[in-house]
Amino acid sequence: MTTKLFGEPVRRREDARLVTGRGRYLDDIGAGALAAAFVRSPHAHARVLDVDVDAALDVEGLVAIYTYEDLTGPLAEPLPVLIPHPQLHAPRTGHPLANGEVNHVGEPVVMVVATDRYVAEDAAERIAVTYEELPAVVGVDAAREARASVHAEIPDNVAAVHHQETGDVEEALRGSSRTLSFTQYVERSACMPLEGKGVHARWDADDSSLRVHTSTQASTSVRAAIAAKLQLPLDQVEVVAPDVGGGFGVKIVHPWPEELLVPMAAIALGREVKWTEDRREHFISSAHERQQRQEIRVGFDDDGRLTALDVHIWHDNGAYTPYGIIVPIVTATQLVGPYVVPTYRVRVESVYTNTVIVTPYRGAGRPQGCFAMERTMDRIADALGLDRAVVRERNLIRPDQFPYDHHLTFQDGRPVIYDSGDYPGLLGKLTALVGWSAAGELRAAAAERGKLLGIGMALYVEGTGPGPYEGGHVQVLGSGKVLVSTGLTSQGQGHETVFAQIVASELGVPIDDVEVTTGDTRRFGYAVGTFASRAAVMSGNAVALAARGVREKALRIAAEVLEAEPDDLEIEDGLVQVRGTPGTSIPLRTVAVLSNPLRYAFDEAAKQATQFATHDDSKPPVAPGDAPGLEHREYFSPLRSTFASGAHAAVVEVDPQTWEIDVVTYAVVHDCGNVVNPMIVEGQVHGGVAQGVGGALYERMAYDADGQLQNASFMDFLMPYASEVPDVVIDHQQTPSPLNPLGIKGAGEAGVIPGSAALASAIEDAVGRRITSMPISPTELYDLVRDPGAERTAASARRAGAPA
């Protein structure tokens, strides 16, 4: 059947447009617009004593210069703390332009508007800002030591202490037959979408309305923020996310200073104004993630079963906390993964540093949580001399334990209750896929070639699709076109394809008739945004429900025309027909025409719906409680998040002369419930793995002690090329979610989560030295293996002692 497309590997409809240069990204808009450029702080921590713009004033083409002094009303106040939380006891946010103090290199101080970006940068270069430098706090350990403070009134640098516990962990540890304690680190990386941020604003003075295009993951909320900060009525502000060249989390943060300042200037100047972020700006003034120090104490029995887990994390939140403590909460609650943890305590101290803000990056705290738990599993196995897969297997939540309540509170304020899953199934598929039991033979074969081979694995559970809600609107036009819109935005995931698949399947129309619009507040005003692997779960179900509403109305109208019962009708390939009675049918497009009784005929189709063409004198043209048009709007609001899961394994070969690390096999078993489009899910996994490998082996934010980012370019920040990303072998498992009509779970972030954990495990297995910090590069691995103080794994000692 051509219209039943749910679950099929339908090719992405957006790709032909995007790969042939017909996309419309932010910088494609407003060719004649004035350009904004920013003077940004060159210091990590300083007072701003003076801003002298005189030298810039004679730059030809300069239009305006704005400093903090030019901001008025709510715009002069600090930027919002988007997600407040009772445990965030000392939140701080910056101002759109620095108000007397800068807290990281890259913080905006002055905005220049000129005829083009070249001129704007010429003028910006001539603006002299006088700073008084203050001591910089760089890195999580420096923040913890608090010899200096980022915000003077917060001397310990602690923004929040997030704390959850499920029992008396000290007592449980005392009662454990075995315990281990250790400390480990994860370094900073960043989303690095190929398209940076960007904002274009146009003010229509006659209409008193503002249209803003912004490269965002949350257009409805940007709209609300602009209206609030610029004191405009909401109905006079439109915000559109055009094609967005990747987000990965950084564009869920809002309003960015530029999202307020560019519209402000457009209104003040009565001209179109545009700002397109360049790569250096993106490095030093967007957002990073991931740095944590993790202190872990674990209790377990002689079989390797967990008895107690106590985790104390210091989380580097950068200079400000606009996105609250979402990342710490996600780490704290997702750390437990697919395992039964009888007694768990987690404390996350979220600390300020004089570096770029930390907000969710694909995975959003989960890679760190996974690193903590999976490395703990590896340590237990090593201490007991057990196979790492066996230890994991013994601790897994069993399939008959669902729904499984961890007695924790998730990032959406709702309980962490796993809805469904089959973790032993995942592990079984993974060990088969990667050839876990044959690792010894692989190791021997690699040794023949002079290579050190290691294998590692990591499992995760990922809360996806949090609320509060998303909506969908489906409308059938008289032409037969089906318009679908939802408020959340797209950054290349393939929403045009999957939402069309869902609607085509639900409604019974050819997918080619379905047109999908996302992230345009003119089309759909209520939305939350695209993050937390929620688009398919939230908007997917919303558009499905909306399509069901349209279907119901279509059948009702068609039943009258066909003189049949709605229950006897079906829609196939855009045709409403009596089931089992071929020939008794009416095209859905005609139903759409008839749904809207008309006085005026403006085309051939409309004639069929005019007042002399339709007649049932006993009823009003539009029934009470009904509405003209074949359309329906519906919202989906789930009880709580649905929990996807997966397992990764990596085989690495290390060159014992150069210490280069080659990932020779990367295996993924993935469970995101019912799959709408397996090809798109695999694409999401591939992209996630690429970022996971990047975070494990290549990427880091190299800040020096003064808070200067040393590698703020694609030459020195080593985002992996295709040539560095291993081939990925994938197996699927489907345990549907009971929490939504389509039974689906999110898939967007999964691929990135276990990368550092699995690769650390594999490298440790290869070299026999404990890996306690990720990422790791060849030069660091060389340092580790020749460090006499480096801990050797018990497994390597056993292997060395084993007869050849």
Partner 1 sequence: MKPAPFRYADPGSVAEALEVLAGEEGAKVLAGGQSLLPLLSMRLAAPAVLVDLNRVPGLDAVEVTEDGVRVGALVRHAELLAHAGAARVQPLLTRATANVAHPAIRNRGTTVGSIAHADPSGEMTAVLALTGGSVTVAEPSGERTVGWRDLFVGPLETSLPAAAVVTAAAFPALPPRSGTAFAEVSRRRGDYAVCGAGVVVTLDGDRRVAAARASYVSVGPVPAVHDLTGAVAGSPVEDADWAAAGALARTLVDPDGDLHASADYRRLLVGVLTERTLASAAAEAAAKATAA
Considering only CA atoms, which of 691, 758, 686 is closest in space to residue 718? 691
Least gap, CB of 754 to partner 1 (angstroms): 22
How many other C-beta atoms lie within 10 A of the C-beta of residue 283?
A: 24
Beta strands in 410-480 (DSSP E): 415-418, 452-464, 470-476
Q: Output 14 or 660, the one with its CB closest to partner 1.
A: 660
Residue 171 burial (CB < 10 Å; 0-12/13-18/19+)?
A: exposed
- What minimum distance in Å lies between the beta carbon of 778 and partner 1? 7
Question: Greatest CA span in the chain, whole angstroms?
Answer: 97
Binding site for partner 1 (CB under 8 A): 117-118, 121-122, 125, 278-280, 657-660, 698, 702, 710-711, 713, 715-716, 718, 720-721, 723-724, 777-779, 782-783
Minimum gap (Å) between residue 160 Cβ and partner 1 = 32
Pick 618 or 657: Cβ nearer partner 1? 657
Are 689 and 725 spatial neighbours (Cβ–Cβ below 8 Å)?
Answer: yes
Give 277 or 378: the residue with its C-beta nearer to partner 1.
Answer: 277
Nearer to partner 1, 167 or 778 (CB): 778
Which alpha helices (DSSP H) does 357-479 contain, by range? 366-384, 388-395, 423-434, 439-448
The least CB distance from residue 150 to partner 1, in Å, is 25
Of 618 and 723, the one with the shorter C-beta distance to partner 1 is 723
Rounded to an integer, what distance in angstroms lies between the CA atom of residue 428 and that of residue 78?
A: 52
Report, in Å, the least distance between residue 656 CB and partner 1. Answer: 10
Q: For the chain, how big is the Rg over CA atoms in Å? A: 28
For residues 118 and 526, which CB has a smaller minimum distance to partner 1 in the complex?
Answer: 118
Nearer to partner 1, 64 or 702 (CB): 702
Name the DSSP letter for residue 539. Answer: I
**In one letter, which amino acid is 442?**
L
Query: Least distance to partner 1 from the beta carbon of 409, Å?
Result: 40
SS3 (DSSP) at 257: helix
Q: How far apart are CA 366 and CA 753, in angstroms?
A: 6
Q: Nearer Cβ to partner 1, position 116 or 141?
A: 116
Q: Min. distance of Cβ 299 from partner 1 in angstroms? A: 39
Which C-beta is closer to partner 1: that of 138 or that of 509? Answer: 138
Does residue 248 come out as left (phi exceeding 0), alpha (psi in the -120 to 50 range) or beta? Answer: left
Q: At what angle do helices 388-395 and 366-384 cross, to 10 degrees?
A: 110
Min CB(699)–partner 1 separation in Å: 11
CA distances from 328 to 308, 324, 367, 495, 638 (A): 20, 9, 12, 29, 23
CA distance 99 to 109: 8
Neighbour tally for 787: CB within 10 Å:
10
Quote the least distance from Cβ 779 to partner 1, whole Å. 4
Task: Classify 767 as helix, strand or coil.
Answer: helix
State which residue, 121 or 349, has the beta carbon closest to partner 1.
121
Structure tokens at 538: 């939230």
CA 273, 277, 283: angle at the middle one, nearest 5?
155
Tell me the three-class secondary structure of 204-251, residue by residue.
Answer: ECCCCEEEEEECCCCHHHHHHHHHHHCCCCHHHEEEECCCCCCCCCHH
Of 279 and 633, the one with the shorter C-beta distance to partner 1 is: 279
Strand runs labelled E in 573-691:
575-578, 585-587, 630-636, 642-654, 661-671
Residue 118 CB, nearest approach to partner 1 (Å): 4
Find the shortest distance in angstroms from Cβ 691 to partner 1.
15
What is the smallest separation between the CB atom of 527 and partner 1, expressed in angstroms?
33
Q: Choose between 623 and 722: whose C-beta lies nearer to partner 1.
A: 722
Asked whether 537 and 638 are in contact (CB, 8 A), the reply is: yes
